Amino acid sequence: MTQPGTAGTMSKEMQDCVEACMACHSVCEETMSSCMQMGGQAQMQIMRALIDCSEMTRMCADMMMRRSPMAAEMCALCAKACDMCAEACMSMPDDAQMTRCAEACRRCAQMCRTMAGATM
């Protein structure tokens, strides 16, 4: 049985959100690598936020692409993970990679919040 809104192509908004999720996932992975090179105990909170965000954005994109009936809820959770990651990254505002990651997270969070309220 087909769920409503599951047939056909993705809307432009959903495609944009998937792309934002995948871009955020990629930047989080790059930022994790950067953090590991820096070292230090203070990085653990940031690393946790990066890992959570990286995993959530990938899973969120996957769920939207397969038209999961839980995609809207995942988008809401993803937005929360992205917000937390952006906040953690901004604890190091002088680091260009952290700033780049925070920007990607904010963009993804905004798009995911929009999708969470949309009929998928």
Per-residue model confidence (pLDDT) at position 116: 93
| b (16+ CB within 10 A) / e for 57-67 | bbbbbebbeeb
User: How far apart are the two ends of the chain, measured CA to CA in Å?
Assistant: 16
Degrees to nearest 5, angle at CA 112 with 17 and 23: 45
Residues 25-40 have pLDDT tens digits of 999 999 999 888 877 6
Say if residue 4's pLDDT is above 50. Answer: no
